[in-house]
Structures are given as structure tokens and as C-alpha cells.
Amino acid sequence: MAPHHEKSMNLTEYAPGQDQLDKIEQILLTDLIASGVHCVLLIDFAGNIIAQGDDGRSRIDVYSLAALSAANFGAVEAMAKIVGQEEFALLFHKGETGSLYFSKVNNELLIISVFGKEIILGLLRMKVADAILKIQQIWKST
């Protein structure tokens, strides 16, 4: 089997139940949205949305964002290997009024945070790191 296919099978095989998904979405809301993030997605590397949260004002096409984010992260992972790195575990794209922060949760999941100028990147990185630890514990328990 190809490694990519095995990765997809593992996600399906160990998918969390509704209770775990509810806990994960609560983490996204309390740790990230409450901190000023406009929209946050937990996706797999195929671009499927596992959990999400938003501030109620976000008008983002989350399905397109998830698909493009997975492709972007995959491309950057390939670039990391070209320059001799195993991976780049996080990415940051800064725009004039909005920015994206990507962070790898584990070998199956990625968090994408959409935020504006009102949140400081250092604070966001700390909040995302805390959320990742919590999500990893829930994901391991499935």
C-alpha cells in the first residue's frame, strides 16, 4: 500500500466519536476563538474538516480553505525535504488585514487559524500550542 493511503485508513480507523468531536470543538472555541481568532479549522491532510469554530462574523469558504490548506501544507512538506528537513511543523501567511497560521497536530491533523491584526502572533502560537496538546490527548483516547 502507498503511504498516503495508509494515512487515510488510520484516520478512518481511529476516528473520534461525537463526544470527542464535541470536546475538540469546545477547545477550538474556548482556546482560539475566544482569544480573537476569526475562524479555526481542524483538518486531515486530505483537506477534510474534522472540527471547526468561528466568531460568527467570518464569511470564509471553509471547504475551499481546508482543501487548499492541505495542498499548501503538503507542498511545503515536500520543500522541507528538498532542503534537508523532515518537516516544517508550522506555517504563517501574513496579509494586510488577515493572516493564516497553520500548525501540525500529529501525522493526521492540521489546525488552520484565520486571524486579523488585533491578535499578536506570539499569543496565537501559545494558544494554538496549548490547544494542540489538548486535542492530542483526546485524539489518543479514541
Task: Report pLDDT for 34.
Answer: 95
Question: How would you write 80-109 as a 3-class SS string?
Answer: HHHCCCCCCCEEEEECCCEEEEEEECCCCE
Task: Report pLDDT for 13.
Answer: 52
Task: Report pLDDT for 142.
Answer: 59
Q: What does the pLDDT look like over 46-55, one tens digit per residue? A: 999 999 999 9
Task: Report pLDDT for 90.
Answer: 78
Residue 37 in 3-state DSSP? coil
Under-70 pLDDT residues of the chain: 1-15, 141-142
Task: Report pLDDT for 14.
Answer: 60
Task: Report pLDDT for 87.
Answer: 86
- 111 alpha-carbon distance from chain centroid: 1
Task: Report pLDDT for 6.
Answer: 38
Task: Report pLDDT for 89.
Answer: 76
How is the chain split into domains, by residue range? 3-140
Q: What does the pLDDT look like over 110-124, one tens digit per residue? A: 999 999 999 999 999
> To which H or E segment does residue 50 belong?
strand 49-54
Task: Report pLDDT for 3.
Answer: 38
Task: Report pLDDT for 16.
Answer: 76
Top-tier CATH class for 3-140: alpha beta
